[in-house]
Amino acid sequence: MYISITGIKVRGFFGMLKFVRYTMPSFAAARKVNGNLFCDLKKVNKYHHTLTAWENKSKMTDYLRGKHHALAMKNFRFIGTGSVHGYEGNVIPSWEEAIKRWKENFKEI
């Protein structure tokens, strides 16, 4: 199973408008796509996080190439800054564990 943890710190009012416009449809698409096992959102310390689990990395990569995610990434620099951490695992982590792993591997985009 492939686990992905993202965190986006939205930049101002217009960044929030773009966040809602582009990332929320992307998240909704992730919930429905073939190969997604788990998908959740949580805001922690000014970062909007997603925690997703996929059958494998290939299924996640297929989703990344999709229309909704591509639009969100195209507009990312107008939305804010953040980081993504992904890894192979056998268990979907708790939010506490996911945020800990994300912070340990933080590389700002």
Q: pLDDT, tens digit, for every residue of 63-81? A: 988 888 888 888 888 899 9
Nearest to 88 by CA among 49, 58, 47: 58
Which phi and psi (to 5°) does residue 70 adopt?
-60, -40
Which residues in the chain show pLDDT less than 70?
A: none
Write out the two tokens for 30: 């992730």
Mean per-residue pLDDT of the chain: 93
Q: 55 lies in a domain? A: yes
Give, in order, the Cα–Cα distances in Å from 45 to each of 2, 53, 93, 103. Answer: 25, 23, 19, 12
Question: Residue 27: which domain range?
Answer: 2-104
Q: What pTM was estimated for this model as a whole? A: 0.88
Q: 61 lies in a domain? A: yes
- Integer-rounded Cα Rg, in Å, for the chain is 13
Distance of CA 12 to the CA centre of its chain: 19
Total domains in the chain come to 1
CB 84 within 8 A of CB 109: yes
Q: 109 lies in a domain? A: no
